[in-house]
Amino acid sequence: MPEFRNLIGGELLPAARTMDTVNPATGEAWATIPAGGAAEAEAAVEAAGRAFPAWSALPALARAHYLRKVSEVFGRHAEELARLETRDNGRILRDTLKRDLPGMAHLWQLAAGQCLDAVKGDTVLLGPDTLGLTRREPYGVAVCVIPWNSPISTFSAKAAYALAAGNTVIVKPAEQASASVLRLGELLAEVFPPGVLNIVSGLGEEVGEALVRHRGVGKISLTGSTATGQAITRASADALKPMTFELGGKSPNIVFPDANLDAATQGVTVNSVYTGNAGQVCVAGSRILIHRSIWDEMLGRIERACAGLVLGDPLDLATTMGPIVSAGQYERVTSYLELAEKEGARLVFGARTGADVVPALPGGYWVAPTLYATEDNALRVCQEEIFGPVAVAIPFSSEEEAVAIANDSVYGLAAGVWTRDLGRAHRLVRDLHSGTVWVNTFRQMPPGLPFGGVKDSGYGHDSVLEYTREKAAIIQI
């Protein structure tokens, strides 16, 4: 089996312990990754700390040169990285190869162009003899904790901006899917000076906790579950440091009767919760709110759209939906199918699992696209993040009721609105409690706009300025 190594201080180092990584389409181990712990975390912080003075002292345009080299690496190794990621986490190849990798090459170029933003400040004439000014400074060592559903994309969204701002970086990938990021580390070891970029694989409760507790770390950025965000907050409480959290979601996707129903059907199914990543996306519109006047029609449309999805080998470009990432996540998702039945939600379609879904791959972690219907938004399947291809349809009668149901959640990451009424669109953008509102589209996350949540979905967003702090100076002339 292939064996991947951590990148620490410019060297590819084997860990004292290793663990297998499993192909979720087959349930079989296919590679070995480091099971790092406190020792690897300490070494990474020391390496990043040593590299920080020289990296932060580089002129912004010199840092931009390094980031453009990373974009070139993505261009040369796109197919290799895409196939690694698909094999590791089940995200279909047509997404990783056609969407993720080209987008990340562009993101590194964009971050390179924003290096100057990290060194800009303001001047204020406080009086005829007094000048005020501000300057932006990097935090130092930035720890970026990334999830398993889109490792390379999230790695890029964090590391590119952190490095552009002058920080040195330690990336902690999820133990369920580290291989693509570790391979990327091998490639980038030839790009950055030693210690500027470090990648440490291991269990979250060991290497992750050691990193976030370390007083040598100046900034933490996490994309992950709300529970992980809460755990990191507790672990880092003794060494206060700024944090950016993009956490869980239970996003509403609201369909009004005046909407283009063809577009809305696509938007609430293929582009939302029933995706190539099997609904394992934080913004999944897993609460589909449908106006009562089009209730039956939309349920039929959604069922027909999902019947057209192709589940199978995620490395096959014909596949349109892949497996659940791991045995543990598979158990979690299937437990919600049992819970929905107990709570009295009506099954519209789906709820098939395992070999019954993809007989050709009986060892994989398969859950068919599933939809329940209920009038009660208080059900746990309506309130809790399932993180799988399971949605709940909820009817509404008025705009005000739709907003009330949508906001009745501890989460506030994103929302979708389908309507031709321009006034209604603007009202819902204003009234929905979420970090992003999509109108007549869904899951568009261009790097030029902020992406983050409110409430239990986190705070802040990954950008160059988020990885800097402002310092003020007052000068008496």
Residues 220 and 280 in one domain: no
Catalytic residue among 175, 246, 385, 466: 246
Residues 189 and 216 in one domain: yes
In a domain? residue 377:
yes
In a domain? residue 435:
yes
In a domain? residue 1:
no
The larger pLDDT score, comparing residue 419 to residue 232, is at 419
Residues 230 and 288 in one domain: no
Nearest-10 Cα torsion for 206, 209, 215, 218: 120
Per residue in 177-186, pLDDT (tens digit) is 999 999 999 9
Residues 363 and 243 in one domain: no
Contacting residues for 170 by C-beta, under 8 A, at least 6 apart: 44, 45, 48, 141, 142, 143, 144, 198, 199, 200, 211, 217
In a domain? residue 270:
yes
Residues 461 and 380 in one domain: no
Confidence of residue 427 (pLDDT cuts 50, 70, 90): very high
Query: What is the number of domains present in the chain?
Result: 2
Residues 367 and 431 in one domain: yes
Residues 295 and 229 in one domain: no
Residues 269 and 134 in one domain: no
Residue 12's beta-bridge partner residues?
A: 7
Per residue in 106-128, pLDDT (tens digit) is 999 999 999 999 999 999 999 99
**pTM for this prediction:** 0.95
Residue 16 has pLDDT above 90, yes or no: no
CATH of residue 272's domain is 3.40.309.10
Residues 271 and 299 in one domain: yes
Q: Cα–Cα distance between 400 and 188 in angstroms, integer?
A: 51
What is the mean predicted confidence (pLDDT) over 242-248? 95
In a domain? residue 63:
yes
Residues 213 and 265 in one domain: no
Residue 327 has pLDDT above 80, yes or no: yes
Per residue in 139-165, pLDDT (tens digit) is 999 999 999 999 999 999 999 999 999
Q: Cα–Cα distance between 19 and 236 in angstroms, integer?
A: 26
Per residue in 263-308, pLDDT (tens digit) is 999 999 988 899 879 999 999 999 999 999 999 999 999 999 999 9
Residues 128 and 272 in one domain: no
Strand segments, DSSP code E, in 247-315 are: 252-255, 287-291
Its domain, for residue 43, covers: 6-247+456-476
CATH of residue 103's domain is 3.40.605.10
Residues 39 and 186 in one domain: yes
Which amino acid appears at position 301 of this protein?
R
In a domain? residue 287:
yes
In a domain? residue 129:
yes
> Is 384 labeled as catalytic in the residue annotation?
no
In a domain? residue 84:
yes
